[in-house]
Amino acid sequence: MTLQIKSLEQYNDVYKRSIEDPEGFWAEQGETFKWRKKWDKTLEWDFRKPDIKWFLGGKLNITENCLDRHLETRGDQVAIIWEPNNPDAPVKKYTYKELHAEVCKAANGLKAMGIGKGDRVCFYMPMVPELAIGILACARVGAIHSVVFAGFSATALADRIKDATCKVVICSDYNNRGAKNIPVKTVVDEAMTMGCDSIETVLVHRNTGGVVEWNSDLDQWWHEVIDNQSTDCEAEEMDAEDMLFILYTSGSTGKPKGVVHTCGGYMVYTTFSFKNVFQYNDGDIYWCTADIGWITGHSYIVYGPLAAGATTIMFEGIPTYPDAGRFWQVCEKHKVNQFYTAPTAIRALMAKGDQYVEGHDLSDLKTLGSVGEPINEEAWSWYNKKIGKGNCPIVDTWWQTETGGILITPLPNITDTKPCYASYPMPGIQPVLLDSDGNLVEGNNVEGLLAVKFPWPSMLRTTYGDHQRCKNTYFAMFDNHYFTGDGARRDEDGRYRIIGRVDDVINVSGHRMGTAEVENAINEHPNVVESAVVGYPHDIKGQGIYAYVIINQVVEDVDAFRKEVIKVVRREIGPIAKPDIIQIVSGLPKTRSGKIMRRILRKVASSDTSNLGDVSTLLNPEVVQEIIDNALV
Ligand code: WTA
């Protein structure tokens, strides 16, 4: 059984042990799983290459751990509760036995389509059970899944399909999202016109039953391929270090990169962290509101909870449909014990007023979680008081797509909680603060750049197809350390507070966005010469997107121009990247070497122009005043 820490004293002991003997500690954790063959060596690592391997030589299939091994002990226990977008539509429940059968059928269907070990399969689907079933089916046959959030545009989808040379893309016909019915298949159809030559099949799940155009060269129905398959499918034997999935995420430069996670270490760490961070016990009902298109959904809706034998809720809808009480209604309906969401959702619901919370019985809640961005004190207090009634510890969990699992967090009823603080490292995690020269910032009450100095089992292994990029992005900044891209502070008691990104990544409603990516999209507009994008404080989204653009020809109707720019961004990336503010400027402040001085633009966007520093060394200092005078905040 996975170790579950129960007291502060035990946390301290376990933490100490995990640092003094990490290999022994993780080997013990590894032993609680079902392996076809035990590993020969627990860890080999070299951050300089980087080359990170856990449980070397071990053979397993993660789905045997998420499904088969539960059949005897909890086969009739509900594994997934699916709550539909429409509160009056029927809930679907899958016991572990039923989920096992569905995954086997889908796995046999994948095989029938010629998918096997090492092939890449793209998912572009809403939050329907078939998404969870589909990715588990991939894992069962040894295929590598690459889930693309269904809010991304056809261009973004095509880029990701091409980067991973996927053989199959699995999608739905339409997506029910709040009051909207969003065409999904047409986006895939459009992506197919953008050079996705590797795709052999588009497998379409009939979700709403709406009309779709059919391309008989590529398209097949999910139900025709999968429904009549056998409910038995021998799992493929995988090496601990074989790839499990690719998940694209944004960075400072260039296009999003495919973060690669592997089978063994990811399984061990997500299970261990799930059991401990949420203090999940048998019989509990756990709900994470994330979308499976992001890492939170991968690790803490699907893999962690299922490997731990939990009952996990999958929610198709949105927090504000049919009204802002939806989350609390679902908590009441399913008697949710652990609830995990993002600060942006909390702030949006808080703004709608307490009347949406009142009247819902939230007495089954034990633990509340937060993820994806810093949670401000006001939102923390509202969450604590109105949702947790002061009785439910808030676990402010800090982690990243690249870390695979939660690295810094309070443990409920074990370590203390403090608003805005992700607090303490998980067992096995060795965070450090460094200054920009890479010197260790020691002691407490200090600030620095957050890095990790020792590997943990679920860390990324590479970026798909470009190992050098992985090295440059995460391992080149500081010798022999993994660099997170975040700045942090350590308080007088050693708790960590995440301050935010120190690179050109912004966090909009908990979604990571590269400013360069948004700029590239804006620059596709024919009248845009150059642009610069920065984040600025936004009450609900955490950060909003502020774009400064230089145009070629004067525009008569500025509003119409802004709309066009937004349209281009939606086309290139998707609605989540659309700028909130677009300011037309005659120039961008640049250094003599031609680099945009984003520091100045950030300050203007945050209405903080009192101390801009020395601008006299700029190539074009005169634009600064113009930008300030015309600022839109
Ligand atoms: C930010 C999401 C403050 C951080 C799991 C990180 C947070 C980025 C927190 C990763 C938190 C995540 N407090 N900031 N509790 N959790 N972040 O890859 O800047 O989508 O680097 O993973 O989100 O975002 P990603």
- For 330-366, b/e burial (b = at least 16 CB within 10 A) is bbbebebbbbbbbbbbbbbbbeeeeebbeebebeebb
Name the residue with the closest Cα to ligand 1, atom 7.
373
Q: Ligand 1 within 6 A of 421 CB?
A: no
Handedness of CA 449, 454, 460, 461 (dihedral sign): positive
**What is the arithmetic mean of pLDDT over 428-455?**
98
Per the CB < 8 A criterion, the answer to whether 240 and 262 are in contact is yes
Q: Ligand 1 within 6 A of 109 CB?
A: no
Q: Ligand 1 within 6 A of 400 CB?
A: yes
User: Greatest CA separation found in the chain?
Assistant: 73
Predicted confidence at residue 472, as pLDDT, reads 97
Predicted confidence at residue 37, as pLDDT, reads 98
As a whole number of angstroms, the distance between CA 111 and CA 217 comes to: 19
CA angle 425, 428, 433 (to 5 degrees): 50
Q: Which amino acid is at 220?
A: Q
**What is the arithmetic mean of pLDDT over 1-25?**
97
Cα of 516 from ligand 1 centre, angstroms: 19
Rounded-to-5 percentages of helix, strand, coil across the chain: 30, 25, 40
Strand partners, 176: 181
> Is a pLDDT exceeding 90 seen at residue 578?
yes
Q: Ligand 1 within 6 A of 458 CB?
A: no
Pocket test of ligand 1: the residue of 303, 486, 506, 511 to mutate, having most ligand atoms within 8 Å of its CB, is 486
Q: Ligand 1 within 6 A of 249 CB?
A: yes
The DSSP 8-state label assigned to residue 361 in this structure reads -
Which residue, among 143, 150, 181, has the nearest Cα to 164 in the 3D structure? 143
Determine which helix (DSSP H) or strand (DSSP E) holds 264, and give its type and residue range: helix 263-277
The half-sphere exposure of 482 on its side-chain side, counting CA atoms within 13 A, is: 25
As a whole number of angstroms, the distance between CA 243 and CA 460 comes to: 10
Q: Ligand 1 within 6 A of 384 CB?
A: no
The DSSP 8-state label assigned to residue 598 in this structure reads H
* 200-252 pLDDT per residue, tens: 999 999 999 999 999 999 999 999 999 999 999 999 999 999 999 999 999 88
Token code pair at residue 465: 């197809």
Name the residue with the closest Cα to ligand 1, atom 15.
398
Q: How many helices (H) and strands (E) does the chain have?
A: 20, 30
> Is a pLDDT exceeding 90 seen at residue 315?
yes
Name the residue with the closest Cα to ligand 1, atom 12.
372
What residues contact 343, with CB distance under 8 A and at least 6 apart?
370, 372, 373, 374, 375, 376, 379, 510, 542
pLDDT bin (cut points 50, 70, 90) of residue 611 is confident
> Is a pLDDT exceeding 90 seen at residue 612?
no
As a whole number of angstroms, the distance between CA 276 and CA 302 comes to: 16
* Atom of ligand 1 lying closest to residue 294 CA: 20
Cα-based torsion angle of the residue sequence 548, 550, 553, 558 in order, rounded to the nearest 10 degrees? 10
By CB neighbour count within 10 A (0-12 exposed, 13-18 middle, 19+ buried), where does 468 fall?
Answer: exposed
Name the residue with the closest Cα to ligand 1, atom 6.
400
Predicted confidence at residue 49, as pLDDT, reads 98
Predicted confidence at residue 391, as pLDDT, reads 97
Which residue, among 182, 55, 134, has the nearest Cα to 298 in the 3D structure? 134
What residues contact 406, with CB distance under 8 A and at least 6 apart?
273, 277, 300, 371, 397, 398, 399, 426
* 402-423 pLDDT per residue, tens: 999 999 999 999 999 999 999 9
Token code pair at residue 623: 């634009």
Predicted confidence at residue 350, as pLDDT, reads 98
As a whole number of angstroms, the distance between CA 136 and CA 151 comes to: 22
Say how many C-beta atoms besides its own lie within 10 A of residue 457's C-beta.
26
The DSSP 8-state label assigned to residue 237 in this structure reads P
Predicted confidence at residue 613, as pLDDT, reads 83
CA angle 83, 88, 91 (to 5 degrees): 30
Mean pLDDT rounded to a whole number for the chain: 97
Q: Ligand 1 within 6 A of 187 CB?
A: no
Predicted confidence at residue 498, as pLDDT, reads 97
As a whole number of angstroms, the distance between CA 60 and CA 504 comes to: 39
Helices 622-629/598-605 angle, 10° precision: 20
* 533-549 pLDDT per residue, tens: 999 999 999 999 999 99
Token code pair at residue 54: 């856990």
* Atom of ligand 1 lying closest to residue 402 CA: 18
> Phi and psi at residue 573, in whole multiples of 5°?
-120, -55
**What is the arithmetic mean of pLDDT over 421-428?**
98
* 68-113 pLDDT per residue, tens: 999 999 999 999 999 999 999 999 999 999 999 999 999 999 999 9
**What is the arithmetic mean of pLDDT over 47-74?**
98
Per-position DSSP letters for 174-224, written without gaps between them: EEEETTEEEE-HHHHHHHHTS--TT--EEEEE-SS-------TTTEEEHHH
Which residue, among 132, 151, 123, has the nearest Cα to 81 in the 3D structure? 132
Which residue, among 518, 508, 573, has the nearest Cα to 252 in the 3D structure? 518
pLDDT bin (cut points 50, 70, 90) of residue 572 is very high
Per the CB < 8 A criterion, the answer to whether 582 and 559 are in contact is no
Cα of 227 from ligand 1 centre, angstroms: 39
As a whole number of angstroms, the distance between CA 565 and CA 562 comes to: 5
Per the CB < 8 A criterion, the answer to whether 85 and 317 are in contact is yes
Name the residue with the closest Cα to ligand 1, atom 3.
374
Q: Ligand 1 within 6 A of 428 CB?
A: no
Q: Ligand 1 within 6 A of 296 CB?
A: yes
Q: Ligand 1 within 6 A of 497 CB?
A: no
pTM score over 0.95: yes
* 507-519 pLDDT per residue, tens: 999 999 999 999 9
- pLDDT > 70: percent of the chain: 100
Q: Ligand 1 within 6 A of 348 CB?
A: no
